[in-house]
Every structure is written in structure tokens, then in C-alpha cells.
Amino acid sequence: MSKRIREYDENNNLIYYKDSSGYEEWYKFDKNNNRIYYKNSSGELWWKYDENNNLVYSKRSFGGEMWYKYCYKNKQRISITKQEFNEIEFRKKEKEYLSRKKCSRFEIMEI
């Protein structure tokens, strides 16, 4: 019979797990019960949330981090990464710039 150990915090969130082979996992949660930390033998992960409990940042000890922004389409929330958001903003600015008429002589100044 295999023995597993599980520990929970006061909100009934799993904070520690160990199986009979010795494999372990650790978890941490914020005051809103959002998971903010995870660790096992492969590495660690961290998460951050905004005031609406939307995930805004994630990072892995074994490489990589992501920032998230949220947009709404047809009343449904969709998430996009910071890189995707920056690319959308760049395309908007590029389109606006390319749509301008030629600059007047007052817009171009030599320094």
C-alpha cells in the first residue's frame, strides 16, 4: 500500500504533497486563493494576479516568463500576452503613421 502525504492550508488549498517514492510538491496561495507558487523536483513557478484575480504574470525557474493583458470581444474575456499586446499597439501606431498626409513644413524641424 502506497502512502501519500497531503497538507492543506486554512482555506483547504493543497500546500504540500509527497508520495511513497519521495516525490514532493509545494504550493502557496494568496489571500484570494490564487495559486502564486509551485515547486517540485523539476523547478519552480510563480504567478501574479491583478485586483480582479486575473493572471497578469507567470515565471518559470527553468526558463521563461509571460505577462498577460485582457481584452473583451463579444462580451467574452480573452487573454493575450504582453508581446501580443505590444505587437497590436505597434500595428495601430504604424497604420496611423502611414495614413498621415505629408508633413507640413512646420512639423519638420532641423536641430
pLDDT in tens, 19-53: 999 999 999 999 999 999 999 999 999 999 988 88
Relative to beta strand 55-60, strand 24-29 is unpaired
Query: Can you give the pTM of this predicted structure?
Result: 0.63
Residue 82: per-residue pLDDT: 67
pLDDT tens digits for 62-77?
888 888 776 666 666 6
In this structure, the number of other CB atoms found within 10 A of the CB of residue 27 comes to 19
In this structure, the number of other CB atoms found within 10 A of the CB of residue 68 comes to 19
What are the extents of the domains in the chain?
1-63, 65-99
